[in-house]
Structure 1
Amino acid sequence: MINTSSNDRVHEWEVLLKPGVCWFIWDDDGTLVFSSPCERITSILTENMPVESIFPPDIAFLIHEMYRDGSELLLGAGKKIRLTIPGTDLVWPGSISRLSNGRFSLIWAEKEDVKPETEPESGSILDHIRSERAVRKANEKLNYFNAIVRHDITNLIMGIVGYIDIIDEIVDDEEVRLLLRKSRDLGERIRRVAELTRTYQDLGIRPPGFIEAKSSITKILERYEFSEMVTSDVNVTGLFIYVDRMFDAIIYEIVRNSLQYGGKGVHISFSFRKDPEGLVLIIEDSGPGIEPDLKERIFSRNYADRRGYGLYLAAEILDITGISIRETGTFGEGARFEMIFPPDTYRFGN
């Protein structure tokens, strides 16, 4: 414990979450390091502080996850983050920006203490609110546990692949090497499935809501892995849609598929139309398209000819708010995905 004022005593790691202080963080041979030019803070703590030696293990782990997620940002880009202690209402909001390869700036905003809502007198409503809070906390804990398991699986797979590489170097039998290659491929498939859980780990944590379609789509198209790889037209100005907060992951999966099969330079367009079903959000690309007998199978969990579960999970996420998705393109002319939004799940505004 350290003194920060005449009346307060806080743990050292809480000083590292102090609002308004800008930290630089980077990876030093697998260990994240905090550093700050702020003399008042660095006079209390050492200038370079490994995350693992200061933070409790659970918080250190969550900061590692934020660091890995931040690696997807373009140089100079930033995004908002929220450090949430699993199973509690204590939240630290902030923002992380990518300064260079492996180096980031991190600044925290005011700490959020989420106070319970005023409880109504009606017993049935009160029970509903209590159940909702319990489910939310359970989801947060499952989310945290999922991150730990994913981390452990990834590390174990790396160890197994390392041993396979060693064996491959010391054997000459081609049949054995063939088995080793198949084992390595299986290990890579397990790693991809584990990484997929990172993309969808926030599913169900926050309630659905209206989002601006254009900003969500543009954010995905501007990601570094799509930069200069795809061209696009986004004609959905003023459209707001009621979706789960994981909608970005759906757009990401569709764009990733277009690039994978259409190749560098593939063109993707986003538009909408109204029809008796409601509103149809249309995503078209200039790739090879999808064969007629695969149009429904690509959304199935049992579809084998793929590298992940992206489109299956996309359909499941959309279904949370009553939205359906279908593929209506012409094979040889490009893929065309249509999302059908019922009348109460979209609106227009500024």
Structure 2
Amino acid sequence: MPDTMEDTTKPDKSHKWELLLKPGVCWFIWVYEDRIEFCLPSGEISSSSEYMDIEGSFPPDIAFLLHEIIRDAQEMVPGDAKKIVLAIPGTDSGWPGHLFRLSSGRFSLVWTKNGNGGAEPDSCDLLDHIRSEKAVRKANEKLNYFNAIVRHDIMNLMMGINGYIDIIDEIVDDDEVHLLIRKSRDLGERILRIAELTRTYQDLGIRPPSFIEAGQAVQRIINRHEFSGKIVSDVQLNGLFLYVDRMFDVVIYEIVRNSLQYGGEGVTITVSLDKVPEGLALVFEDSGPGVHPDFKERIFSRTYADRKGYGLYLASEILDLTGIGIRETGIYGKGARFELVFPPDTYRFGP
């Protein structure tokens, strides 16, 4: 009977991309207008050097965090170095390292051991960083829960107030009192709209961003029942993927709703792409009256007095979570033109 021996070797459960973040691994990084590439000196992971793009080598959330780290390093001057931590919010996963600026658009990055292990006393305290991330996420969850309770109480109280207003309206026969009652009802409806708004936006930034197919997202909003038969659309976004917050649908909805609100039924909305110095612009153009030059920036402000809601302000806040800008560049009298400006690391083309 042949001798048998139990295999006690533990399988390697790490993902392939985690090998690229092991302590001691060195990257050389090239930053281009539309992508970021890196390579490892031969012998680091394999016997030969090869160029890799961050999106193709890492999961979307890790790729986004790496882009953020490298984008923040653009202000470094050649010869500068700084400590960095690639930490996934809400998890215990993280990797510290040292980033060096070599020249324009060129960096080197060395992944190091966790400072709590004692091997590198000068490295970042990774565990403290992760604990802070988890504490912030937990606090946000509690704030959202508290927000839901307060909203529920406000709406119940407003129902009671409106009931009393209806009773007063029936028993009082005075034109001035009826005028005050109508104004009170208008204020009550505004309070209810604001309270309902908190329901829509309470999850802002809670879930990590991800790549979405832009054409499908835009078409999904345009095809909603409330817009059916009211707008004419032309969407030209073949093959574009955008790295955005999970509430990006709300941004599209607010822009489309704004065009319908001011352009009226039958308004034409064209969605296309435009190359801009900052990266790529996702452009929404309509056939409405456009925006007066004095209001082009104010319409995105929280304190804009003439708005009919907070849609464009909150849309700009959602976009800002992933470093995306929004501006209005249309010609007044010929239609509105909203440009959503995506930096090079927040979009790509292909499957």
Same fold (TM over 0.5): yes
Structure 1: which amino acid aligns with 2:224?
Answer: R
Contact between 2:211 and 2:243, CA under 8 Å: does it hold in 1?
Answer: yes
Query: How big is each residue's C-alpha offset from its partner over 1:260-310, in whole Å with a ceiling of 9 and x where there is no partner?
Result: 111122221111111322101100111111111111110111101123221
Which residue pairs with 1:227 in the alignment? 228
Checking the alignment, whether the CA contact within 8 Å between 2:284 and 2:338 is kept in structure 1 is yes
Q: TM-score, normalised by structure 1?
A: 0.64
Q: Contact between 2:259 and 2:267, CA under 8 Å: does it hold in 1?
A: yes
Matches within 5 A, 1:56-71: none
Q: Distance in 1 between matches of 2:211 and 2:295?
A: 32
Q: Is the Cα contact below 8 Å between 2:205 and 2:321 reproduced in 1? A: no
How big is the shift at 1:229? 2.1
**Any idea what the Cα deviations from partners look like across 1:35-93, whole Å, max 9, x if unmatched?**
xxxxxxxxxxxxxxxxxxxxxxxxxxxxxxxxxxxxxxxxxxxxxxxxxxxxxxxxxxx
Question: Cα gap change, 1:273/1:116 in structure 2, threshold over 3 Å: closer, same or farther?
Answer: closer
* Alignment deviations for residues 84-138 of structure 1 (CA, whole Å, 9 cap, x no partner): xxxxxxxxxxxxxxxxxxxxxxxxxxxxxxx964677444222222222222222
Aligned to 1:78: none
Q: Measure, in 2, the Cα distance between the counterparts of 1:186 and 1:290.
A: 27
Note if contact 1:301-1:312 (Cα within 8 Å) is conserved in structure 2: yes
In the TM superposition, 1:61-140 aligns within 5 A as 117=92, 121-123=114-116, 124-140=125-141
The equivalent of 1:200 in structure 2 is 201
The structure-2 alpha-carbon separation of the partners of 1:331 and 1:116, relative to structure 1 and needing over 3 Å to count, comes to closer
Asked whether 1:249 is paired with 2:263, we answer no
Is the 8 Å Cα contact of residues 315 and 324 (structure 1) preserved in structure 2? yes
Taking the aligned partners of 2:91 and 2:298, their CA distance within structure 1 comes to: 45
CA distance in 1, matches of 2:266, 2:128: 54
Question: Cα–Cα, structure 1 residues 116 and 277, in superposed 2: closer, same or farther, change >3 Å?
Answer: closer
Amino acid aligned to 1:204: G
Q: Distance in 1 between matches of 2:216 and 2:142?
A: 30
What code does the residue aligned with 1:183 have?
S
Match of 2:173 in 1: 172
Q: Which residue pairs with 1:184 in the alignment?
A: 185
Divergent runs of 4+, >2 A: 115-123
Aligned counterpart, 2:339: 338
Contact 1:200 1:249 (C-alpha < 8 Å) held by counterparts = no
Partners of 1:119 and 1:347 in 2: how far apart?
26
- Contact 1:189/1:307 (CA < 8 Å) preserved in 2? no
Output the amino acid matched with 2:253: Y
8 A contact 2:291–2:336 mirrored in 1: yes
Question: What secondary structure sits across from 1:284 in the alignment?
Answer: strand
1:200-349 maps to which residues of 2 (within 5 A)? 200-349=201-350
Contact 2:144–2:202 (CA under 8 A) maintained in structure 1: yes
Task: Confirm or deny: 8 A CA contact 2:91 2:134 kept in the other structure.
Answer: no
The answer for the alignment partner of 1:157 in structure 2 is: 158
Whether the aligned pair in 1 keeps the contact of 2:212 and 2:243 (CA below 8 Å) is yes
The one-letter code of the counterpart of 1:274 is K
Q: Could you tell me how far apart the structure 2 residues matched to 1:158 and 1:150 are?
A: 12
Work out the CA distance in 1 between the residues paired with 2:301 and 2:195. Answer: 19
- Deviation of 1:208 after TM superposition, in Å, equals 2.1
Secondary structure of 2:151 counterpart: helix
Higher-Rg structure is 2
Give the equivalent residue in structure 2 for 1:112. none
Alpha-carbon displacement from aligned partner over 1:175-195 (angstroms, at most 9, x marks no partner): 111111111000011111111
For 1:203 and 1:231, locate their aligned partners in 2 and report how far apart those are by CA, in whole Å. Answer: 30
Looking at structure 2, the residues matched to 237 and 199 of structure 1 have their Cα atoms a distance apart, in angstroms, of: 29
Cα shift at 1:205: 0.8
The amino acid across from 2:152 in the alignment is: H
Unaligned runs of 5+ in 1: 1-114
Output one character per residue of 1:162-217: Cα deviation in whole Å (capped at 9) or x when no partner.
21122112211111111111110000111111111111111121122222211221
Task: Give yes or no for contact 1:139–1:204 (8 Å, CA) kept in 2.
Answer: no
Q: Secondary structure at the match of 1:202?
A: coil
1:296 maps to amino acid: E
Structure 2: which amino acid aligns with 1:262? Answer: G
Q: Secondary structure at the match of 1:225?
A: helix
Q: Residues of 2 paired with 1:216 and 1:130: CA distance? A: 35
Residue range with higher mean Cα deviation, 194-203 or 218-227? 218-227
Q: Which residue of 2 aligns with 1:91?
A: none
Percent pairwise identity: 73
Output the CA distance in 2 between the equivalents of 1:231 and 1:158: 39
Q: Quote the Cα distance in structure 2 between the aligned partners of 1:234 and 1:122.
A: 50
Structure 2 counterpart of 1:126, which letter? L
**Change in CA separation of 1:253 and 1:275 when aligned onto 2, cut-off 3 Å:** same
Q: In the alignment, residue 342 of structure 1 is paired with which amino acid?
A: P
Number of aligned residue pairs: give it: 236
Equivalent residue of 1:326, what SS? strand
